[in-house]
Chain A
Amino acid sequence: MALRSLRPSWVALGLLALVTLLLAGCSGAAMTPSSWPGVSADSTTAYVASNQAVYAVDLATGAERWRFPAQPDRAVVLFATPTSTDDGLVILGDFNRVVYALKASDGSVVWRFDKAKDRYIGGAAMAGDLVLVPCADHTLYALQRASGALVWSFKTKAPLWAAPLVDGEVIYLPAQDHNLYALEARTGKLIWSQDLGGALSDTPVIAGGRLLAGTFGQGLAAVDIRAGKPVFTVPTDGWVWGSPVTDEAAAYFGDLAGTARAVSLKDGSTLWTYQPGASVVASPALGDGVVYFASSGGLVQARATSDGASKWQVTLAGPTNTDPLLTGDVLLVGVSASPDVLLAALDPATGATRWTFAPAK
């Protein structure tokens, strides 16, 4: 009876209010740029970019050295992997179309580049005195390391989400338009391109004269580095997001269907596999006879490279889609969506936590 006594116009207004609230909620989610932390390190400092800041963290203690920007700034959204240079810069792009070069010592801005038309998701790469920055506006920007001035640019047909691989005078650029491009480093001139049948979202690696690149839908592709022709592919059940790591005999990688595997570098045949229980987005890290996999479920596992036998495993407080990084005597793992941990430093031998870092409010 109470429901029947409602005036239809009030019911309509209530529904409208509900629509507004839900649409506003959805729009908030849509506007919030979302990725996982970008992590890198030099000999003394780890750099972790996550949402509204990049943090410089003491590798020995996990203490924060500086952050950029020093005060929260809604105009800055950082997720790209920071790139530290040998002349004391930390370079990274943000979701709001700006590339920053910061002083590694204190985080102050040396230069900025703001000519792009879309966000930066992938990290930068260095090629001599050039900084190469992939952008979601389909363009690879080559900037002067000293000033950030544009030297050349190379346009593809889809967003670029991963840093290029620099090998001497040649750049290998993975693109979401399914192509792997080889470019002249000095000029950006195309040498060859190869369609691999699926989007490429991570930096390829070189092993035995071949480029290895993960694809969305076509597994792992091995491409001849000179001719750019496919040599073999390793089919997978899920998309291969992160690139493999390699030793003399094998390549190690995971896929989004939740399989981690080792394959022969010779012909791509499977050596061993295991299921970590969740999607594997990140590239693994390689130690001495040990490969470290991180998965979306927050599980970090150390496996023997020889047979995949488990050495140790730990579960962190949130998804671990960031590439784990073995540096010095710690394994750095970026953690998403956790208020307590943004970066964890683990003992590579045991998985014990050395320290964790979460930015102070």
Chain B
Amino acid sequence: MWDTVILDPMVNSLLWIYDFLGHNFGLAIIVFTALIRLVTLPLTLQQQRSTQKMQELQGSKAWQDMQKKYKDDKQKLQQEQLKLYQEVGFNPLSGCLPTVIQLPIIFGLYGAVIRALATTPVQLLELSKHIYDFIPSSIIPLNSQFLYMNLGQPERLYLPFLPNIGIPVLTVLVVISTYFQNKLMTPPSADAQGAQMTKVMALYMPLLLGYFAYTLASGLALYFVASNLLAIVQYAATGKVDFKKLLSFGGTTPQKPKR
């Protein structure tokens, strides 16, 4: 079911793009990531709208007063928050739903890159079972060379004057771009707990993806970088991006209530 509905169409789209682009797998990953971002744009926009609405709500005086009033009674606080959500017609899960819908796509994309690279016999045997008839078998194996990288191997750059030290350039780019994406696109939280969580996630995600980029095939790291940069570009296109945020360190601070 997973293979038929998600993974197979993605793998074959990726292979078709690879063939169309003259057998450049790195370019195919970037174009494929851009197409996926385009297809999921309505979901992304809905998520951004929901986040903004939540942010406005949490910045309101009514919300802040409620936090103070019921700070010792969590249950009552929850009830009042729900009441406020209903009054303003806001569904707190509306921001999560697009993310839930996008999860299979994220995993599918990840799986498609791994499956298409097929660097071991078992992976290649598995790939052979999932290629559609219109994909020419002459494209197998994929040319995994992109710039100086072998996309099937973890990336390291060896400079002529440092022949024994591999510099993980793509890993650094993944960490930086993930940090920037989080920094630019995560709104400030109204309460201390939310701000703390935002801070943890802002550090956790770059390190996690950086670890994957360092240890796994560089094709995945390329996907991470492309995906992060395209997300930032998409967000910037909505006119909401504030590049000054990049200069503030230590996470976002709780915002002041609006009167």
The answer to whether A and B assemble together is yes
Binding site for B on A (CB under 8 A): 3-9, 11-13, 15-16, 18-20, 22-23, 26-27, 29-31, 33-36, 79, 118-119, 121, 136, 158-159, 161, 176, 178, 197-199, 201, 216-218, 238-239, 241, 256, 279, 281, 296, 321
A23 with B128: CB separation less than 8 A: no
Which among B96, B100, B204, B217 has the highest number of chain A CB atoms within 10 Å? B96
Top 8 A-B residue pairs of the complex, sorted by shortest distance between their CB atoms: A217-B137, A34-B122, A35-B121, A11-B96, A34-B120, A8-B92, A176-B141, A9-B194
Cα distance A132–B197 in the bound complex, in angstroms: 57
Main secondary structure on chain A at its contact with chain B?
Answer: loop
Nearest CB in chain B: distance from A238 CB, A: 7
Residue in contact with B122 in the complex, picked from A19, A35, A216, A239, CB distance below 8 Å:
A35
Q: Is B165 part of the contact surface with A, judged by Cβ < 8 Å? A: no
B123 with A34: CB separation less than 8 A: yes
B103 with A4: CB separation less than 8 A: no
Given contacts A26-B107, A281-B125, contact A35 B197 (CB under 8 A): no
Of the listed stretches B208-216, B230-238, B240-248, B251-259, name the one at the interface; the rest are far from the partner chain: B208-216
Closest to A13 in B: B197
B201 with A16: CB separation less than 8 A: yes
Binding site for A on B (CB under 8 A): 54, 78, 82, 85, 91-93, 95-96, 99-100, 103, 106-107, 110-111, 114, 119-125, 128-129, 136-138, 140-141, 143, 150, 153, 189, 193-194, 197, 201, 204-205, 208, 212, 215-217, 220
A11 with B93: CB separation less than 8 A: yes
A15 with B103: CB separation less than 8 A: yes
Known: A9-B194, A35-B122, A217-B140. 13 other contacts (CB 8 A): A4-B91, A4-B93, A9-B189, A11-B96, A19-B103, A23-B110, A26-B114, A199-B140, A201-B121, A216-B137, A217-B136, A217-B138, A256-B128
Cα distance A4–B91 in the bound complex, in angstroms: 8
A15 contact set on B, CB distance < 8 A: 96, 99-100, 103
B93 contact set on A, CB distance < 8 A: 3-4, 6, 8, 11
A-B interface pairs (CB < 8 A), number: 112
Cα distance A96–B213 in the bound complex, in angstroms: 19
Closest to B153 in A: A118
Cα distance A279–B129 in the bound complex, in angstroms: 9
B54 contact set on A, CB distance < 8 A: 8
B137 contact set on A, CB distance < 8 A: 198, 216-218, 239
